[in-house]
Structure formats: structure tokens, C-alpha cells
Amino acid sequence: MSERTDVDRLTCILCPVGCELEVRRTERGLDVKGHQCENGVGFATEEVLYPKRNLATSVPVKGSETRLVSVRLSDRVPRDMIFPILRVIAGLRPEAPVRRGQVLIADVLGTGVDVIATRTVE
Amino acid sequence: MSGAVPVHDVVVIGGGPAGLAAALGARRAGAEDVLLIERDKRLGGILNQCIHDGFGLFLYNETISGPEYAERLAEEALRAGVRAETGAMVLDLAADRLLRVNARAGYRLLRARSVVLAMGCRERTREMIEIPGTRPAGIFTAGTAQALVNLQNIRVGNEAVILGSGDIGLIMARRLTFEGVAVRGVFELMPWTNGLERNVRQCLMDFGIPLALSSTVVEVRGRDRVESVVVAAVDGSLEPVPGTEREVRCDTLLLSVGLIPENELSKRAGVALSPLTGGAVVDETFMTSVDGIFSCGNVLQIHDVADFASHEGFAAGAAAARFARGELGGGPRVSLAPGREVRYVLPQLVRAGASGFGVNFRTVRPLGKCRVTVTGRRSGKVYVQRKFGRLLPSELQTVRVKPAVEEDLEVACHE
């Protein structure tokens, strides 16, 4: 295997300082540079090794193709779960009324995270 | 029509993040009769189509979606006694704060002791940036596409190119990817991105969508529907470089090329506008050049974050309540001007003797480690000095001026 030193540049988004981080993958692990506080290392490690994301989409309310309810996840999930979860949500047709914050799919694909409505449809 | 024109303490025009906050802010500051007028049938403004998360970090200390933010803020405003009238449009506003309104029940006149302008902004269009080529279907502003996809369940196309790296364009690159639309690339005229860093990362890099800086669309091709666009690199003066043209197949072109404050009503009332922001010239209470007319949110200056538009709304609404009670007078004002590396500052005017107010500014270009100063133009006194790790034109920044101000000021950055 050839020596692979991926360098990832990212901006820390934990606080408004916005440190420019340089993350190098080495054989010993991750080497983080550019952080002004220790939180930057944790941020960079998560962002490079197992990034997490939320997702948002809209689904039609049952019996209507034009009345939509927007949905998101109750918390972030590993990034590679985004498309599998979107495929599950694609079949979702909740019945009105839907309340904001209502759980539409609990523990989606065993992630421990729920799909919730983000608006109220009477 | 007969009888006296009804008088309200505070009338807020627009029910988005700024207007809802302004109405709530006016009630909290003691205004009795606060009327909010919203053109759409639903409160929330553009928040309703912004279904992605990232809202509320400053207002609610958690990250929520646009519709949730809108519903929460609207509920708070209504609970606080704000009267909101949806499906009603202000047709005209006069300097004496007489409003002509077309509402569900018909046309009527009303008068306000204070008015808060919160009409938001519009997107720049293809015509405004003059892209040559044919005029086929398939060209949308990013926000229009966002409304079609998120509110009307309409698929806008199969293969898209996005011109401009504004936040809505970046958000739509991800949204279209989720909907199975292939996004061929984002092309940005400037040598830096116009959107927030986190959006470049989460909306483009996550999905391997290429971002080309210093490049633009020079031609649209296709008869009935967009068939391709021609892109080219641009030089230092933003002119296309001959020989760098390349055709990109697509059936959809999204434009995310800037926002313009929507000041039609402000102009009718004679409110002075700034050529730098496109919004009203205001003082530190957000009062415009017309007594008793206040401005906040995207109609005043383009914000990156809805929470900041609301923040401005709360302040403008509170000041409007004070004016309605006769507690906010006029008096001499000093000016606040952009200096080195600063594109604009807001407010542009400050009441002489005022202290403890925020100053917003944007830089001309990206800057590394730098010092921002607010300096007296007569005395050379440094009123504020603050260090920043870096400053981007895409990020609206704030410094606070604490000492009382008696002279004209200048805001400058020193790298």
C-alpha cells in the first residue's frame, strides 16, 4: 500500500472564531493543526472520521399530492445513513392533522433517531 | 368609505423572521395595538420553504428548521397579543404613515403611529445579470426552485447546473441531490464562495459536487428546454477568458446570484436608501430618514442568518413602540462610514450622545487575522478595537460601540 497522507482542510464551526483546521491522516492517526482550543481536535476528528448530518425533505399528507409536511431527523446521523433514510421517508404519507414535532417514524433504520414533522398541517 | 381612519400604535409590514420579531418586540416594549400585515396566507415568510436545519441557534439555543422557527416565533407573537392579518397587502405607504391596504375584506385605509418595514428581499434574475443565449424553460432562481420542490412537490428537472454560490444555491444543490437530480456543478464568478463555509462543506463536498470559482455561465442553449450551458473562466476584472469555454449538459439552470432588498413601499414613503446596502439609511434605533418609519431584516440589509434578522426586528419593534408613545425624539446625528477594506456599515447614522449600540459591517474581500477599529474622524479617538481570526465578505459581522459618540465615525479593518 502506498503512503496515503490525505490532508483535509476544514473550518471549525463550533464557535464564531472559525479556526482553519488542517487535518492530516497519518499511520498513527489524525494530526490536527490550526486549532486555537482543544475542542477543535474533537470537531476535526468527528468531521473527518465519522461525520454526522441531519436531513430535511417534504412528504405529501395522505390523500393529497399538493399538501406537504416538511420533516427532519430529531438528531444527526452518520452521513452514510442519509440516502437509506431518504428512501424510507419517500414512502411516508402521514395523515392530517400533523403537529409540529410529531414523530412520524420512530428509530428510523435502528439509528436511534426519529423522523419528525417540522410544521403543523391541520 | 366613510368614518375616521383607524389608528394603530405600531404597524409591521411583513410576517417573516424580522417582522414577527418586530411585532413581538413592540408588544414587549409596551405598544398596545400592534398590527402585523402579511401578504401570504401563512405567517413565516421565506422560512416556510427553508426546511433544512440550522435555524434558531441564537434565538432558541438549538438548531431547528425554518418552518419550526416560523411557527414558534408566530405563536409567541400571537400569544403576546400581536394581531396578525394574513392575505393582506400594503399597496401604499405615505410619509405621514397612512397605509392603503388590500385585505381579505377589501380595500381600506389605516394610520400608524409607527411603521416597521420588514418586507424582506428578492432574488436577482437572469435578466439582471444578462446571460446571453436562448430563452428556454428550465431556468429558475434558487429560491423559486426551493419553493417548487419543498412546498409544491414539483421536480424541477433531471440535471442541474447552479450559477452562484449563495447559500440558497448551496442548500438547493443538496436538496436536488436528495430528490435524485444530478447536480453537475456550482459556478461562482468571484474567486471566493458567497455562501457560508458550513454550507460548502455539507451541501457540496459531502456529495462530491464540484465548485468552480472565478467562472461563470456565458451562454444558455436549448430551444424549448435548457439543453446545456456554456461555462468559462473569468479574469481579474471578472470578464470571461476566451478559449476557456466548455459546454455542460443540463436541463436546468439555478441562479443564486444575490438578493436585493424589496424597498418599493419604502420609496413611496420617501425613505432614503443606501446604494451600498440597497436598504434604508437608519440610525442605531433602526429609524429611517422618515420619522416613525423603522426598517429591519432583509429589507434593510441582506442577512446570512434568520436569527440575526429577528434580532434586528426585536430592536426595531421596541424602538417603534417608544416612538409611538412619543419617547423617541429626533435630534442631531453623527455619521458612520466604511473605511479600509469595509464594504458597508450599518447603522449609517447615530444619535449624538448615543452609547452601547451594535455596528454591522461586511468586508470587501476575505481577510486573515485582522484588527477592526471604529475611529472618530475628528479626534482620531479609537472607540472600538477588536481582533478577528478572519473575516469573509459572506459573513455579516458586528462590533459594539460602548462609549458615548459625539463625532463622525469610521469603521476599518487592518490585516
Whether residue B271 contacts residue B289, with contact meaning beta carbons closer than 8 Å, is answered with: yes
How many Å lie between the alpha carbon of B236 and the closest alpha carbon of chain A? Answer: 25
Q: Using an 8 Å CB-CB cutoff, list chain B residues near A104.
A: none
Same domain? B159 vs B249: yes
Residues 5-64 in A contacting B (C-alpha not used; CB under 8 Å): 10-11, 13, 17-20, 36, 51, 53-58, 60
ipTM of the complex: 0.88
Same domain? B157 vs B228: yes
User: Which of B312, B330, B348 finishes a domain?
Assistant: B330
Same domain? A31 vs A65: no
User: Is residue A5 predicted with pLDDT exceeding 60?
Assistant: no
Cα distance between residue B245 and residue B250, in whole Å = 16
Same domain? B377 vs B284: no
Are residues B52 and A56, on separate chains, in Cβ contact within 8 Å? yes
Q: To the nearest 5 percent, what fractions of chain B are helix, strand and coil?
A: 25, 35, 40
Are residues A101 and B68, on separate chains, in Cβ contact within 8 Å? yes
pTM metric for this prediction? 0.93
Can you give the residue range of the structural domain that contains B275?
1-123+259-330
pLDDT of res. A17: 67
Are residues B197 and A17, on separate chains, in Cβ contact within 8 Å? no
In terms of pLDDT, which residue wins out, A15 or B131?
A: B131
Tell me what the pLDDT averaged over chain B comes to. Answer: 95
Mean pLDDT of A77-99: 95
Same domain? B132 vs B248: yes
Q: Using an 8 Å CB-CB cutoff, list chain B residues near A36.
A: 389
Same domain? A42 vs A73: no
CATH, residue B369: 2.60.40
Same domain? B357 vs B409: yes
Whether residue B364 contacts residue B343, with contact meaning beta carbons closer than 8 Å, is answered with: yes
Q: Which of A67, A100, A121 to mutate to test the interface with B (most CBs of B within 10 A)?
A: A100
Same domain? A84 vs A105: yes
CATH, residue B155: 3.50.50.60
**In terms of C-beta distances under 8 Å and separation of at least 24 residues, what long-range contacts does B237-240 make, across chains too?**
B238/B189, B238/B190, B240/B216
Residue A60 lies in a domain: yes
User: Which of B257, B275, B292 finishes a domain?
Assistant: B257
User: Is residue A85 predicted with pLDDT exceeding 60?
Assistant: yes
How many Å lie between the alpha carbon of B222 and the closest alpha carbon of chain A? Answer: 30
User: Which of B314, B330, B346 finishes a domain?
Assistant: B330
What DSSP letter does each residue of A45-112 carry, written as one string? HHHHHS-EE--EEEEEPTT-SS-EEEEEESS-EEGGGHHHHHHHHHT--PPSPB-TT-EEESSGGGSS
- At residue A31, the 3 state secondary structure works out as strand
Cα distance between residue A19 and residue A33, in whole Å = 10
Q: How many domains does chain B have?
A: 3
User: Is residue A107 predicted with pLDDT exceeding 50?
Assistant: yes
Same domain? A42 vs A75: no
Q: How confident is the model at residue A1 (pLDDT cuts 50, 70, 90)?
A: very low
Same domain? B167 vs B148: yes
Same domain? B76 vs B6: yes
Give the contacts of B62 (CB within 8 A, at least 6 positions apart). Answer: B56
Task: Select the residue of B65, B149, B197 nearest A118 (Cβ to Cβ).
Answer: B65
* Grid cell listed for B308: 440575526
pLDDT along chain B (415 residues), means of 10: 84 98 98 98 96 92 94 98 98 98 97 98 94 96 96 95 94 96 97 86 93 97 98 96 97 96 98 97 97 98 94 98 93 94 97 95 93 95 91 91 95 95
pLDDT of res. A65: 64
Q: How far apart are the first and last CA of chain A?
A: 59
Residue A122 lies in a domain: no
Whether residue B118 contacts residue B294, with contact meaning beta carbons closer than 8 Å, is answered with: no
pLDDT of res. A66: 67
* Grid cell listed for A16: 464564531
Same domain? B288 vs B242: no
Q: Which residues lie across from B217 on neighbouring strands?
A: B231
Same domain? A113 vs A78: yes
Give the contacts of B61 (CB within 8 A, at least 6 positions apart). Answer: none
Are residues B389 and A18, on separate chains, in Cβ contact within 8 Å? yes
Q: Which of B68, B202, B397 to mutate to test the interface with A (most CBs of A within 10 A)?
A: B68
Are residues A66 and B65, on separate chains, in Cβ contact within 8 Å? no
How many Å lie between the alpha carbon of A17 and the closest alpha carbon of chain B? Answer: 6
Q: Using an 8 Å CB-CB cutoff, list chain A residues near B71.
A: 100, 119-120
Give per-residue pLDDT as tens, B355-379.
Answer: 999 999 999 999 988 999 999 999 9
Are residues A57 and B53, on separate chains, in Cβ contact within 8 Å? no
Whether residue B413 contacts residue B363, with contact meaning beta carbons closer than 8 Å, is answered with: yes
Cα distance between residue B170 and residue B121, in whole Å = 18
Q: How many CB pairs below 8 Å do chains A and B form together?
A: 67
Q: Which helix (H) or strand (E) holds B169?
A: helix B167-178
- At residue B308, the 3 state secondary structure works out as helix
CATH, residue A98: 3.10.530.10
Q: How many domains does chain A have?
A: 2
CA distances from B48 to B203, B257, B314 (A): 20, 21, 20
DSSP B350: E
Q: Using an 8 Å CB-CB cutoff, list chain B residues near A72.
A: 51-53, 65
Q: How many helices (H) and strands (E) does chain B have?
A: 8, 27
Cα distance between residue B38 and residue B12, in whole Å = 9
Give per-residue pLDDT as tens, B169-218.
Answer: 999 999 999 999 999 999 999 999 888 878 888 899 999 999 999 999 99
**In terms of C-beta distances under 8 Å and separation of at least 24 residues, what long-range contacts does B349-354 make, across chains too?**
B349/B281, B349/B282, B349/B283, B349/B284, B350/B283, B350/B284, B350/B401, B350/B405, B350/B409, B351/B283, B351/B284, B351/B285, B352/B405, B352/B406, B353/B404, B353/B405, B353/B406, B354/B284, B354/B404, B354/B405
By DSSP bridging, strand A68-73 and strand A56-60 are antiparallel
Give the contacts of A42 (CB within 8 A, at least 6 positions apart). Answer: none
Residue A1 lies in a domain: no
Can you give the residue range of the structural domain that contains A26?
7-49
Residue A41 lies in a domain: yes
pLDDT of res. A3: 45
Same domain? A64 vs A112: yes
Q: Where are the beta strands (DSSP E) in B43-188?
A: 53-55, 64-65, 83-85, 89-93, 98-103, 106-117, 121-123, 139-141, 159-163, 182-187
What is the b/e burial string over A78-91, where b = at least 16 CB atoms within 10 angstroms of the residue's CB? ebebbeebeeebee
